């Protein structure tokens, strides 16, 4: 499959602070990626690098096979919706849509108008009179209606209510099914989007710690609960990201397991196996304390 | 809408099971067309690639077949294939689990057989 983004050993430092450190990955065409991680993990920096808004300190990067910097051919294929997208205060929504139409070659006017209706947006109201949630909805309308071959949403729904977020997911999946394109979605609301994602990238402290197919990742981790001694015996040789003792019981989350055989083995000795959601998994993996917890037990 | 997909198992397996359920219950008779992967994606709010993986699982097992340029259809004999497969799963999922729990509670095999007969009468 064709790679839309190829990044090799990318570094971005601000003084001694490494916002993105030695990061290599590729993004395949027409898949939906989730870029996850805590605040300050380097997600936004990475997206700004990909969209050529800042320069890397070192490393190699290709977008649509070319260097993206001041490259109109590449940049016209990218739509980047930022967390707090700024628009000229004196514009109304219609003006913003008109400008977007002239920027994005694949812009679909009918689709943009039906989205405006879905989100109940007042076309003639000025940008500075819009609520925070409405501003976010404007960004989402642009991100979807642009149908850009590479569409990036960076936490697009500040102030957006649950109903509107639901509309966003519905319209995204419907339109993606008809018009496949590469989408990178960065969000903290992992539970809401986990089923939509095909591939997961997790950043922590400037490093990419997970780069994996969503289904594989789902099948990759589980929590085992039971009598402490039995659980401890089961855990030998396994990679543990979280432990929680409770009375005489121990609950532990295991990753990178041979899921099927491990599950059968655990069930055979009377241990309870439960699934780990993507959100829980990301919390365990990016919670600085988890290593410490793992280290306390043998 | 209730959560159609649970968190426990791979989504594509669950999609395949939903199609199988429809085949068992007669919602999808043999030789009828199955919804497209895009329709599955929109309805269950999942990635189309995942939906395709679930459908292909059933194609590999001969339960569905592809008519080129039209879509996926339920194969002849699909219903009995699915039922056979489910009977094997029933043994693993219910019988073995039940025996294990019975053992833990000190229920003998005779008592267990009694319970099953009692349960059957109550039905």
Are A78 and A159 members of one domain?
A: yes
A150 touches chain B (CB under 8 A): no
- Contact by Cβ (8 Å): A11, A21: yes
Query: Distances from the Cα of B115 to the Cαs of B92, B106, B107, B108, in angstroms?
Result: 19, 14, 10, 11
Are A149 and A232 members of one domain?
A: no
ipTM of this complex prediction, to 2 decimal places: 0.74
- Mark which of A192, A214, A236 sits at the end of a domain: A214
Q: Which residues are CB-neighbours of A45 under 8 A, at least 6 positions away?
A: A12, A19, A20, A54
- If one counts the domains in chain A, the total is 2
- Among chain A residues, CA nearest to B4: A195
Across the range A118-139, mean pLDDT stands at: 94
Are A234 and A133 members of one domain?
A: no
Q: What is the pLDDT of residue A268?
A: 80
Across the range A143-171, mean pLDDT stands at: 94
Strand boundaries in B1-123, DSSP class E: 64-67, 71-74
Lowest mean pLDDT among A10-19, A50-59, A107-116, B6-15: B6-15
> Mutation test of the interface with chain B: which of A1, A173, A189, A259, choosing the one with the most B Cβ atoms within 10 A?
A173
Are A155 and A35 members of one domain?
A: yes
Across the range B21-38, mean pLDDT stands at: 93
Across the range B3-16, mean pLDDT stands at: 78
Are A167 and A242 members of one domain?
A: no
Q: Mean pLDDT, chain A, as a whole number?
A: 90
Are A292 and A278 members of one domain?
A: yes
| Residue in B7, B46, B100 nearest the CB of A275 | B7
- Distance from B7 to chain A by nearest Cα, in Å? 6
Are A232 and A85 members of one domain?
A: no
* Contact call for A219 and B10, based on CB within 8 A: yes
Q: Which residues are CB-neighbours of A183 under 8 A, at least 6 positions away?
A: A31, A32, A33, A151, A152, A153, A172, A176
- Contact by Cβ (8 Å): A136, A156: yes
Q: What is the pLDDT of residue B8?
A: 67
* Secondary structure letter of residue A269 according to DSSP: T
Binned at pLDDT 50, 70 and 90, residue B4 comes out as low
- Mark which of A150, A182, A214 sits at the end of a domain: A214
* Residue-wise pLDDT tens digits, A254-269: 887 776 788 788 888 8
- Among chain B residues, CA nearest to A191: B7
Q: Which residue has the higher pLDDT, A104 or A216?
A: A104
Q: What is the pLDDT of residue A276?
A: 87
β-pair partners for A225 = A251, A272
> Mutation test of the interface with chain B: which of A195, A220, A265, A271, choosing the one with the most B Cβ atoms within 10 A?
A195
Q: Which residues of A touch B49 (CB under 8 A)?
A: 31, 198
* Residue-wise pLDDT tens digits, B42-60: 888 899 999 999 999 999 9
Q: Which residues are CB-neighbours of B96 under 8 A, at least 6 positions away?
A: none
pTM of the model as a whole: 0.85
- Among chain B residues, CA nearest to A167: B45
For A124, phi and psi rounded to 5 degrees?
-95, 5
- Percent of residues, chain B, with pLDDT higher than 70: 95
CA distance A70 to A79: 15
* Residue-wise pLDDT tens digits, A79-93: 999 987 889 989 999
CA nearest A191: which of A169, A161, A159?
A169
Are A168 and A29 members of one domain?
A: yes
CATH code, domain with A269: 3.30.70
Are A267 and A189 members of one domain?
A: no
Q: Which residue has the higher pLDDT, A293 or A122?
A: A122
| Residue in B7, B41, B53 nearest the CB of A277 | B7
Edge to edge, the sheet with strand A58-63 lists A17-28, A3-14, A58-63
Binned at pLDDT 50, 70 and 90, residue B10 comes out as confident
Q: Which residues of B touch A196 (CB under 8 A)?
A: 45-47
Are A199 and A232 members of one domain?
A: no
- Note down the domain range covering A115: 3-214
Across the range A90-109, mean pLDDT stands at: 95
- Distance from A90 to chain B by nearest Cα, in Å? 37
Binned at pLDDT 50, 70 and 90, residue A297 comes out as very low
- Mark which of A160, A189, A214 sits at the end of a domain: A214
CATH code, domain with A26: 3.40.50.300
Binned at pLDDT 50, 70 and 90, residue A296 comes out as very low
Q: What is the pLDDT of residue A269?
A: 84
Across the range A240-254, mean pLDDT stands at: 90
Are A182 and A58 members of one domain?
A: yes
CA nearest A76: which of A148, A181, A152?
A148
* Residue-wise pLDDT tens digits, A182-233: 999 999 999 899 999 999 999 999 999 999 998 888 878 888 999 999 999 8
In the numeric block, which tokens belong to residue A284? 């365990």
| Residue in A177, A215, A267 nearest the CB of B42 | A177
Query: Distances from the Cα of A75 to the Cαs of A13, A63, A78, A220, in angstroms?
Result: 24, 9, 5, 36
* Residue-wise pLDDT tens digits, A21-35: 999 999 999 999 999
For A144, phi and psi rounded to 5 degrees?
-80, -50
- Contact by Cβ (8 Å): A183, A47: no
Binned at pLDDT 50, 70 and 90, residue B86 comes out as very high
* Contact call for A169 and B47, based on CB within 8 A: no
Are A68 and A173 members of one domain?
A: yes
């Amino acid at each position: 499959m064709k790679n839309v983004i190829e990044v090799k050993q990318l570094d971005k430092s601000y003084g001694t602070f490494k916002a993105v450190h030695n990061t290599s990955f590729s993004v395949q065409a027409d898949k939906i990626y989730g870029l996850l991680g805590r605040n300050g993990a380097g997600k936004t920096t990475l997206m700004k690098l990909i969209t050529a808004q800042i320069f890397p300190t070192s490393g190699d990067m290709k977008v649509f096979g070319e260097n993206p910097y001041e490259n109109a051919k590449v940049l016209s294929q990218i739509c980047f919706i930022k967390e707090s997208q700024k628009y000229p205060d004196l514009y109304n929504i219609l003006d913003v849509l008109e400008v977007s139409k002239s920027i994005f070659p694949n812009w679909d006017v009918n689709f943009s108008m039906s989205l405006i209706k879905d989100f109940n947006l007042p076309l003639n109201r000025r940008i500075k009179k819009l609520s925070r949630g409405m501003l976010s909805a404007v960004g989402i309308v642009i991100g979807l209606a642009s149908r850009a071959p590479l569409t990036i949403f960076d936490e697009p729904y500040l102030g957006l209510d649950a109903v509107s977020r639901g509309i966003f997911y519905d319209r995204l999946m419907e339109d993606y099914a008809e018009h496949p394109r590469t989408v990178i979605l960065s969000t903290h609301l992992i539970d809401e989007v986990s089923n939509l994602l095909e591939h997961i990238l997790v950043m922590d402290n400037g490093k990419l710690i997970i780069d994996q197919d969503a289904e594989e990742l789902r099948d990759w981790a589980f929590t085992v609960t039971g009598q402490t001694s039995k659980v401890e015996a089961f855990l030998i040789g396994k990679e543990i990201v979280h432990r929680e003792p409770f009375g005489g019981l121990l609950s532990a989350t295991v990753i990178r397991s041979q899921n099927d055989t491990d599950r059968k083995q655990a069930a055979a000795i009377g241990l309870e196996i439960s699934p780990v959601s993507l959100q829980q998994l990301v919390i365990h993996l990016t919670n600085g304390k988890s290593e410490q917890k793992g280290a306390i037990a043998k | 809408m209730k959560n159609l997909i649970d968190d426990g198992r791979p989504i594509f397996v669950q999609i395949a099971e939903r199609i199988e359920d429809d085949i068992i219950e007669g919602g999808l008779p043999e030789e009828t067309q199955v919804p497209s992967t895009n329709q599955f994606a929109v309805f269950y709010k999942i990635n189309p690639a995942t939906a395709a993986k679930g459908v292909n699982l059933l194609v590999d097992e001969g339960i569905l077949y592809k008519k080129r340029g039209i879509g996926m259809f339920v194969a002849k004999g699909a219903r009995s294939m699915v039922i056979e497969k489910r009977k094997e799963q029933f043994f693993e999922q219910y019988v073995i689990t039940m025996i294990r729990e019975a053992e833990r509670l000190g229920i003998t095999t005779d008592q267990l057989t009694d319970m099953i007969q009692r349960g059957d009468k109550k039905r």
